[in-house]
Structure formats: structure tokens, C-alpha cells
Amino acid sequence: MRGATIVIESLLAEGVETVFGYPGGAIMPVYDALYDYRDRLNHILVRHEQGAIHAAQGFARTSGKPGVCFATSGPGATNLITGLADAMIDSTPVVCITGQVASHLLGTDAFQETDVIGISMPVTKWNIQVTKAEDIVPAIARAFYIAKSGRPGPVLVDITKDAQFGDADFKYEYCDSIRSYQPKPKIDQTLVQQAASLINGAARPYLLVGQGVILSEAEQELMEFVEKAGVPVASTLLGLGAFPADHPQYVGYLGMHGNYAPNVLTNECDVLLAIGMRFDDRVTGDVNRYAKQAKVIHVDLDRSELNKIIPAHIGIHGDAKEVLQLLTPMIEKKNHFDWLEQFRLLQEKEDEAVIRNAVAPDSEELRMAEVIHQLSEIAKRDTVVVTDVGQHQMITSRYYKFKNTRTNVTSGGLGTMGFGLPAAIGAKLGAPEKDVVLVVGDGGIQMTIQEFGTIMQFGIGVKVLLLNNNFLGMVRQWQELFFDRRYSFTDIQNPDFVRIADGYHIPALKVESRKALSEGLTAMLNTEGAFLLEVVVEKEDNVFPMMPTGASVAEVRLS
């Protein structure tokens, strides 16, 4: 079988049904082979290779399966790098297959040749260059195993053109182990017993939940533990949805723009249990003043995360689901009503200072928070909400009530503007039975706006909620607060977004008044297929609370 055909057959053997990509010279043999598999493999032609990998990320985040994308050599491959970095830091399983110049041209600066292996090495979990047709199967099999096992991540398989044209016998052999690679470690039960003892003896235990709970499919185990232990639960940005926001023990969202109580009371708990989260700087603030009074229990599948940022009194190297299955039977049934009440009191303080005027403002201009609050009230419980990066992202994380797992898709660690639109395309194809709403700013949408063409061509039913303040809002907020309102190149002149959507045959509506907001949101959600709802919001609206850079979690600003 020709090498290019082996690529396609290998993907089918791995259960792949959807691929995002863009053809070019060095991967043309694979695309030629794909021509005969159009009824078996759904290829989505994006408008830019960055769109391909972000779409693959969105697909992975909603489906739980590795996302797959194709790109050609040179600029095609380098256009994947931002998405690879994004997927790496956010633990998203993606398999990228790139074409490469013929092996005899490697290192000669041939047309569209770049050292994609060297370039991508820091931002992939694993990568490999294949120069012979007979090596394609083992490379792809290993790629899928590495991408989805252990702490997931992106992998890249670079295949030379002569390997694609070459012939080899085809027999697909799945990879289920690699010598020296142990994706799931054996859990030290003594450490679990010690953790249980600390939790059982705690007066003010506190649980921080990260995306690791979602990746290990430990949502039910988490619920059983929480309800037995009676602990307050807060979520990281990527952990939103792992624990339902309407549960009485859920106390809010952590981080720089998170809720007041879960940030401040981090420095009041006596036992801090962190599961599947990595103590990102946006969560901790000044690490020298972070939870110094607490005994820290850290559970993570990646050993390198233990003691990397915050020293753990007990560091448990293990899968979140397996650790919780061991831990919960050791936990005493308790409630912590008085401790939970402290969260409620601080929540009331935030309600009074920030939230009430944000969701029901007394100003004439629409505010971002009221738009997201109304969306949260009327959207279906299992609606997938994708966000780009900026103020709208933080507002959505604060005011949208995520109640189901795998319904929050965002760029966390890298903070990639332009992520949203292609990720929403992938999210919809990964969960076609669910509504998918993209919340995006006027800056971010213009970074990948060409992907409206992908929506148009393939009839992908993404709802786009564009919050337009005619500013690069998050940078402007920092310029206002810390740079004496010197708005240096953050005032952005925008096009007519409704007319652009019309050019792509996407129904669109512009809302500029509070009176029209509810009707606009309803029209967006009820329209079959894609829809763009542009909502003009207050130009200089800010996101509070806010933890300034270098501050302690106890120094969160309410204004």
C-alpha cells in the first residue's frame, strides 16, 4: 500500500472520523489518497492552518477524543505552532500530521522546508519525522497512544514526501505501551491514608478542582467525595464544569478575576486539597503569601507539577479518578456549615460591590456581565460555551454557570486570541448534539475571522455572541488601572460585522439597547444553524474583582 494511503487507513483504524486541514505541496499525496475516502473520513477544509489546530483542540475538548489535523510543510507546519503551544499547556490531545519535503532534500533549504521537528519540540508531548513508508504505522500508533494517555497533549508526525509515495505492507498494530513511559503511576496508598487523616481532622478544609478531574473522567467520584466530606469547592478556569455551579458546596471561580470569597479564603483554610490543577500564577498570585497557614495536599498525574509552584505536605502522584476512588472510603461523613457560611458572607460582599450592578446596571449602556448572565439563564444546561481571550473570557467564566462537564472550552495557559472561532467549529463537530455558543471580543474574532468560510462551506451550527466595545478591552483595563489611562493602541476601529457575516451567508443581528437584548439572545439560540449576534457594550467596562500582578490572593480588589 502506498504510504499516503497508509496514513488514512491508520487514522481509520484509530477510530478517527473528522480531520481538520489545509492542503499543500508536501502533503499532497495524503490529500490524493483522501479523495478515495471522502465517504469514510470527514475532512473539514479550514481557511488557515492555525484554524485547523484550534478546531482540533475544540473537538478534543468536547468529544474527549484526540483531535486530528493536517498541514503541509514550511509555513503550513509553522502555522500550527501557536496551537501546539496552546494544547501543550492546556493538556489537550491533538495529533498533527504534516507533510515534509523529500528526504534527500532535508537540510538543503528546499522550497517550503523548515525543521518542524526542531521548532515544535518544546511545544509537543512527542514528535517524530518519518522518512520511510514502513515507519508510518508505528509512528501514528505511538502518536495516538502518547497524545491520549497519561497527561494528554499534542503530538506531531512529520512525513516526507517520498515516504508518502513509497510502498509498504499494511497491518495496523495498536500501541498500548512504551518502554520507560508510565502514563498511570501506581498510587502510594500510604499517602492517600495520610491525606484522609488530614481532611478528617480539618476544621476548614478547602478543595480546588482543575481540569485533571475532567480529563480523568472523575466527575462522579468528585461529587461523592465532596458530598461525603462536606468541603467547599472552587474551580480553576479550565476546571469549570467539573463540578456543577448550582451545587450548594460550590463557592466559585478562582483566579485573577475570580470570585472574591474563594480567593480570599484560600489564606484562611487549614487543609487545602488541590486535584488536577497546577497552581498557575493567575490562581496563586504571590506564591510567598499563598496558603501559608494550610496543610497542602496536591493530587496530579504529572509528577513534575508536584512541588513545582506550591510545596505540598502530601503530594500524591496519580490519576484523579483513581485517587478519589481510594480516598473517599477513608473520609468521615461531615458537614462544614460554619466554614461554608464564611464563603457566603464574602459572596454577599462581592454581590453588593460588583455583581448586582454588573448584571442589572443602572447605566444606559449594556454591560458584558448582564449579557452573559442572561445567556446563562436561558441556555440549555448542556450548552457548550467557547470563549476567546480577553475581558469577555473572564466575564463568561464569572457569570456563566457551568453545570455540566466538557461544556467550557477556552484557551487557559497560553491565552491565545483567535482561539475562539475555530475552536467553536471543532467543539460543535465534537458534540454535534449540543448547542455551541462562542463568546468572543471584537479584537479576537478578527484574528481568525476567515473561519466564517469554514462555517459557511460545511454548515456548522456555531452561535457567535460578539461583545463589541471597540477596544482591546483587557489591555485597555490594565492601561486604565496601572498606566494612567494612557490608551496606547487599544482603541480599535472595527468593520461592519453584520455585513461580513452576511457575506458568508450567516444570519446576523446587531443589538445596541437593553430592550433588544433578550430578543436577540433568543433569536440566536433558536435559529437553526449558525448565527452572529453582535452586542455593543460599554466601552470602558472593567472586570472586577481583580488580583493585581504580584498581589496576594487576600488582596483582591473589588473596584
Query: Which residues form the catalytic set?
Result: 49, 111-112, 161, 474
Angle at 181 between CA 179 and CA 182, to 5 degrees: 120
**Integer Cα distance of 540 and 274 in angstroms:** 36
Q: What SS3 string covers 82-129?
A: HHHHHHHHCCCCEEEEEEECCHHHCCCCCCCCCCHHHHHHHHCCEEEE
**Integer Cα distance of 410 and 239 in angstroms:** 11
Residue 209 sits at φ, ψ, to 5 deg, of -110, 130
Helix segments in 149-259, DSSP class H: 161-165, 189-200, 212-215, 219-229
**Integer Cα distance of 559 and 552 in angstroms:** 16
**Integer Cα distance of 452 and 311 in angstroms:** 46
Residue labelled with grid coordinates 505501551: 177
Q: Which three cell numbers stand for residue 267?
A: 489564606
Measured in whole angstroms, the distance separating CA 408 from the mean position of its chain's CA atoms is 7
173 CB-side CA count, 13 A: 9
Note every long-range contact of 504-510, with CB atoms under 8 Å and residues 24 or more positions apart, other chains counting.
504/452, 504/453, 504/455, 504/456, 505/456, 506/452, 506/455, 506/456, 506/464, 506/530, 506/531, 506/532, 507/531, 507/532, 508/532, 508/533, 508/534, 509/533, 509/534, 510/534, 510/535, 510/536
3-state class of 529 per DSSP?
A: coil
